[in-house]
Amino acid sequence: MNKNKNSVKIRTAIPEDLPQILKCSKTSDRFVVSEYSNGFDEDDIRFWITDSRAIVIVATIDTKIIGFAYGVIVSPKWFFFDAFLIIPEFQNIGVGGKMYKYLRDICKEKGIKLIQGLVKNSKNSALGFWIKQGYTKGSDLIWVEDRLDKNKCNN
C-alpha cells in the first residue's frame, strides 16, 4: 500500500463505510473521555452518517479507510467536530491536513463561519496539529456530563 499523501483520497462517508470507520476508531484511546464514554459504536456511526446535520468524511487509500472525521452543524454558522482520527501507521504524512482542507471546504460551501472542536488534554500532538492549521486554543473548559440511564439526579 502506497503510504504517501498523494495516494490518499478524501470523500464523504457512506453507510457501507461503517465497519471500517469503527475499526479505525479502535486504533486509538482518543475517544475514551470519561468513565461513561469509552468510544462509540455502530449505532453512533450509523446515526452520524445519516444525520443531515452531520458531516462525516473518510480518508482512503485504495478501498481501505485510514482516517475519518465527524462533526455536527450546531447552527447555520457553527460547526463542531467531535472526532478526527488517522490510524497510527498513516500519521505524519499529511493526511490530517488533507482531511481538514476537505472538511473546511464543505463548511465554507455551507456558509459556516466558525469551526470548533475538542482536543483531549493528554494529546499534545493533536493540539499542535490544530494550531498548525491556524486554530487558536480556546478557553480551558471542563467536560461535564449527566448519564441519563443512571439514577443520580438530585431533583
Tens-place pLDDT, residues 66-122: 999 999 999 999 999 888 889 989 988 999 999 999 999 999 999 999 988 877 665
For the entire predicted model, the pTM comes to 0.78
Q: Are 12 and 49 in contact (CB under 8 A)?
A: no
Q: Are 51 and 72 in contact (CB under 8 A)?
A: yes
Helix (H, G, I), strand (E, B) or coil at 141: coil
**β 78-86/8-12 pair status:** unpaired
Helices 18-25, 42-50: crossing angle, 10 deg rounding: 130
CATH number of 5-132: 3.40.630.30
pLDDT of residue 145: 56
Which residue ranges make up each domain of the chain?
Answer: 5-132
Tell me the Cα Rg of the chain.
16
Per-residue pLDDT for 30 more than 90?
no
pLDDT of residue 49: 92
Return the closest-CA partner of residue 31 out of 19, 20, 22, 40: 40
